[in-house]
Structure 1
C-alpha cells in the first residue's frame, strides 16, 4: 500500500508540469487575435496587390531595386492569403476541424514568407549600398537580369529551408499546435524548443547585421559626399564662366544622387517597420515564460504585411504617383505606362 501511495504521489508530481503548462485557450483572446489576423489578411491582400499591379502597369517602376520590392510584396501577399487558415484554427475550440495536412502546409508557407521578407530586406539593403557607393556601370554589372533572378530565388530557397527544418532534420513537427491553437510548429514535440532557437538564429541576426552594416555605410558615404559637394561648391564660385558646363554636369549627378538617397531613406522606413514588428516575436521565442505573449507577438509580426504598402504609397515618390492613379481610376495619368496598359487603353478607347 505504501508503494502504491508513493507511486500515486510520483505520478501526480510528473503530471503537475503538464497541468500548469500554458495554453492559449481563452476564447475571448483567441477571438481578438483571430479578428486581427482577418483584418491583416484583408488589408495585406489589397495593399500588396496594389504594389504588384503598380509595377506591372508602369515601366518607370521596373528597376532592379523594385524587383526586390515586388518580391517583398509577394511574400507579404502570400502571408495575407494564408492567414485565414489560422483564423479557422483560432476559432475552433475543439481543435483543427479538417485534414491536418492543410495546417502543416499553412505553417510552411507562413514561416517561408516571414523568412523571405527578412532576407529580401537584406537584399534591398545591399542593393542600396551598391547603387549609392559604387559607379553605375558596376551596379548594372552586379544587378543584371539573370543575377537578379538568382538573388530572388536565393531568398526563397533559404527561407524554404528554414521553414522545413523540422521536416528535413526531425527538429520538431509542423501542423496544428494545441498549445496556441494555430498552424505553426507543434510545441508538444520534445525538440520544438530547438526549432524555435534555430528560427531566431537564422531569421534575425544574419539579415539584421547585413542591413545595419549596409545602411551605416550608406549614411557615412552620403555624409562624406555632401561634405565634398559643399567644398566643391565653395571653390567653384571663384572659377571663371568657362566652368559652367562642368558645374551643370556635376549638378545633374548630384540630383540623381539625391533621388537615390531619398529612395534609400524611404526603403529604410520599411526596414525599421519590419524589425519593430519582428523583434518582439524573436525575443519571445528565447525568453523563458513568455508563452502568453507569443500569440500577440505573432499578430505584431504579421501586421507588417500590410504596413509596407502604406509606406510605399505615402513615401516613395514613384509608387505614390502610380498607386494614386490606380485608386482614382485614372490609369491614363500613370507615368511611362507598360505595353499591356497601353494596349488595353487602345482596345477600350472609344472610336
Structure 2
C-alpha cells in the first residue's frame, strides 16, 4: 500500500475504530493463514500422492502466504498505536513492508504461473508438455518469481523514489510516497496488478473453454453412437443400453464433471478478483482514503483464503488434512519408500 508523506502540521488520521476493525481481521487472517498454509506444506511433504510437479508451485504459494500471515501481527501493532508512531523500531516496520509486498507480488505471480501450467498441461498431450513440465524447470520458475518480486520491491526505495516506513494517516506500515517520480511507481504497480489479474482470468477462461469444448465433443460422439445403436436392430440392444458403460450414463458423468470444474474455476477467479481488484484501482488512482485501507486489508486476506481454495477443494488435500489433524499414520500408498 502506498501513502503520501504526511505533514507535521496537519496530523490527520483514519478513525481509530476503523483501524480496530482492520486489526481484528488481520489477527483472524493471521491465525487462519498460518494454520492453513502450514497444513498445505506439511501435506505435500508427507503425502506421496501430493508430491507432484504442479504442487511445487502450490507449496511456493503457501510459503509466500505463510510469510505474509506471519507479518500481520506487526501490522496490527501499528494499527492499534495511538501515539502517531510505530511502537517498535522503524527498521522493523520497513522490513515488514518489504516482506509483505514481496510476498504479495510473488503470490499473485505464482497464481498466474499455476494457471498457465494447468492450461499448458490440460490442452496438450503428455509428449507435448514433458519438456517444460519438469521439477527442475518449475523450481527455476519459482526462483525467478521470487527474484523479480524482491527486486521490484527493493529497487524503488534504493533509487530514492520513496521509502518504507510507518504511515501516521493509515496507522500501518507502508510504502511512503515522498517524491514526484513516485507517481510512476504507484501507477506501474497498478498496471502490474491489473495485468496479473487479466492474465489469471485469461488462463482460467481458456481452461474452462477447452474443457467445455472437449466435453461437448464427447457428448456429440456418444449421442451419435447411441443413435447408431438404436437403429442397428441388434438383439442385445436393450441389454447393452442398460449397462453401466452405455453412452447415457457417461454423458451424465461428463455433464456433472463439467459443472464441478466450472464451479471450482469460477470460485478461484471470483476470490482473486475480490481480493485484488480494489487495491489495483487504488494503485492506479492513489490517495489517502478509507477505501485504500480496506482495499489493502482485503488484498492481504487472500493469503488466508488460498489454502481453502487450493487445498480443501482438492480430494487428495482433503484426505491429507484429515489425516494430519486426526494424527493418523499415512497408508502405505501415501508414504514414499
1:103 and 2:89 are equivalent in the alignment: no
Would the aligned equivalents of 2:194 and 2:277 in 1 still touch at CA under 8 Å? no
Aligned pairs for 1:1-351 within 5 A: 23-94=12-83, 95-202=85-192, 204-237=193-226, 238=228, 266=264, 269-287=267-285, 291-333=289-331, 336-339=334-337
Structure 2: 5+ residue runs without aligned partners?
Answer: 1-5, 235-239
What displacement does 1:334 show? 8.3
Structure 1: 5+ residue runs without aligned partners?
Answer: 1-16, 340-351
Q: Equivalent residue of 2:215, what SS? A: helix
The structure, 1 or 2, with the larger RCO (C-alpha pairs under 8 Å, 6+ apart) is: 2
User: For the residues of structure 2 that align with 1:259 and 1:152, how far apart are their CA atoms?
Assistant: 31
Would the aligned equivalents of 1:107 and 1:183 in 2 still touch at CA under 8 Å? yes
Would the aligned equivalents of 1:126 and 1:214 in 2 still touch at CA under 8 Å? yes
Would the aligned equivalents of 2:186 and 2:283 in 1 still touch at CA under 8 Å? yes
What displacement does 1:299 show? 1.2
Q: Could you state the TM-score of these two structures normalised by the residue count of structure 2?
A: 0.82
Deviates more, 1:84-93 or 1:51-60: 84-93
User: For the residues of structure 1 that align with 2:262 and 2:137, how far apart are their CA atoms?
Assistant: 21
Would the aligned equivalents of 2:14 and 2:290 in 1 still touch at CA under 8 Å? no
User: For the residues of structure 2 that align with 1:334 and 1:272, how far apart are their CA atoms?
Assistant: 38
Deviates more, 1:305-314 or 1:105-114: 305-314
Deviates more, 1:226-235 or 1:265-274: 265-274
What displacement does 1:58 show? 0.7
Q: Equivalent residue of 1:24, what SS? A: coil
User: For the residues of structure 2 that align with 1:264 and 1:322, how far apart are their CA atoms?
Assistant: 24
What displacement does 1:115 show? 0.5
User: For the residues of structure 1 that align with 2:313 and 2:76, how far apart are their CA atoms?
Assistant: 32
User: For the residues of structure 2 that align with 1:282 and 1:22, how far apart are their CA atoms?
Assistant: 27
Aligned Cα RMSD in Å?
Answer: 3.1
User: For the residues of structure 2 that align with 1:52 and 1:103, how far apart are their CA atoms?
Assistant: 27
Would the aligned equivalents of 1:179 and 1:187 in 2 still touch at CA under 8 Å? no
Q: Equivalent residue of 2:87, what SS? A: coil
Alignment-derived partner of residue 342 in structure 1: none
What displacement does 1:89 show? 1.5
> CA separation of 1:223/1:22 partners in 2, compared to 1, >3 Å: closer, same or farther?
farther
Would the aligned equivalents of 2:32 and 2:304 in 1 still touch at CA under 8 Å? yes
Aligned residues: 313
Would the aligned equivalents of 2:211 and 2:258 in 1 still touch at CA under 8 Å? no
User: For the residues of structure 1 that align with 2:107 and 2:29, how far apart are their CA atoms?
Assistant: 16
> CA separation of 1:153/1:273 partners in 2, compared to 1, >3 Å: closer, same or farther?
same
User: For the residues of structure 2 that align with 1:127 and 1:48, how far apart are their CA atoms?
Assistant: 21
> CA separation of 1:91/1:33 partners in 2, compared to 1, >3 Å: closer, same or farther?
same
Would the aligned equivalents of 1:263 and 1:316 in 2 still touch at CA under 8 Å? no
Would the aligned equivalents of 1:325 and 1:334 in 2 still touch at CA under 8 Å? no
What displacement does 1:71 show? 1.1
Q: Could you state the TM-score of these two structures normalised by the residue count of structure 1?
A: 0.79
User: For the residues of structure 2 that align with 1:49 and 1:305, how far apart are their CA atoms?
Assistant: 12
> CA separation of 1:84/1:302 partners in 2, compared to 1, >3 Å: closer, same or farther?
same
What displacement does 1:122 show? 0.5
Deviates more, 1:142-151 or 1:92-101: 92-101
What displacement does 1:76 show? 0.6
Q: Equivalent residue of 2:131, what SS? A: helix
What displacement does 1:68 show? 1.4
